Amino acid sequence: MGLFRPYDQKTQDSQTASATEPVAVATPAGTAPKNRPTPTRQQAQAARMDALHPKLTKRQASAQDRAAADKKRAAQMQADDNLPERVLLRNYVDSRLSVVQFILPLMLIAMAGTMAFAKLPVMTAALTIFLYVIVFACIVTCWLFWQGYKRQLADRLPHASSKGLMMMMVTRMMMIPRMRQPKPVVKRGEAY
């Protein structure tokens, strides 16, 4: 309706029709229309701090700390396992057959035999001597492997330290090859 022009029915109908239709509010893409009051500065800062430092229960905090410690420990173990002297040791042990990897099953068999034949002193004495022979053979084998590994280490990595590797070698030799961690890369008899 105009104040200084004549009344026109068409413009009146279009104005009433647009007044009854809901007006779409233009919002930036990906955001919802604002249907709440603007937060105060204090509320906005508190919301940002809650996002950065969430309030956790004691159980959630300890679980989060444990997960972070496990992740850090796994990364450190991975870095330690990738040292060249350790890789060489693993390949040296995995490429050779030794009596040491059979020590655990043989000891279990000998102990079970000792218990089964407890009433036969001759059999018990024979199994005990068998256990001592196995342990002595394993000690000699470990010593020979260690000497061979030290020669390989001096040839391939002259400035690498062998500190702490003997126990790693013995424990790796005692494990069944399928159970070794990290998994063997070389097969028995292969060159490395």
Q: What is the pLDDT of residues 38-52, one digit of tens each?
A: 999 999 999 998 888
CA neighbor of 188 nearest in space, from 171, 170, 173, 167: 173
Is 181 part of a structural domain of the chain? no
Considering Cα of 16, then 17, then 21, then 27, what sign does the dihedral take?
negative
Neighbours of 166 (CB within 10 A): 16
Q: Which two tokens stand for residue 75?
A: 């990364």
What is the total count of domains within the chain?
1
112, part of any domain:
yes
Domain-located, residue 40 = no
How is 10-50 classified by DSSP, letter by letter?
HHHHHHHHHHHSPPPPP--TT-PPP-SPPPPHHHHHHHHHH
Residue 18 CA to residue 12 CA, distance in Å, equals 10
Q: Evaluate whether residue 101 is within a structural domain.
A: yes
What is the domain range of residue 155? Answer: 84-173
Q: Does any domain span residue 182?
A: no
Q: Give yes or no for residue 1 having a pLDDT over 60.
A: no
Residue of 190, 184, 106, 90 whose CA lies nearest to 145 = 90
The answer to whether residue 124 scores a pLDDT higher than 60 is: yes
Kindly report, residue by residue over 145-186, the tens digit of the pLDDT: 999 999 999 999 999 999 989 999 999 999 988 899 899 999
Q: Read off the pTM.
A: 0.64
As a whole number of angstroms, the distance between CA 174 and CA 89 comes to: 14
Number of other CB atoms surrounding residue 122 within 10 Å: 8
Tokens of 21: 């239709």
Position 159 in a domain: yes
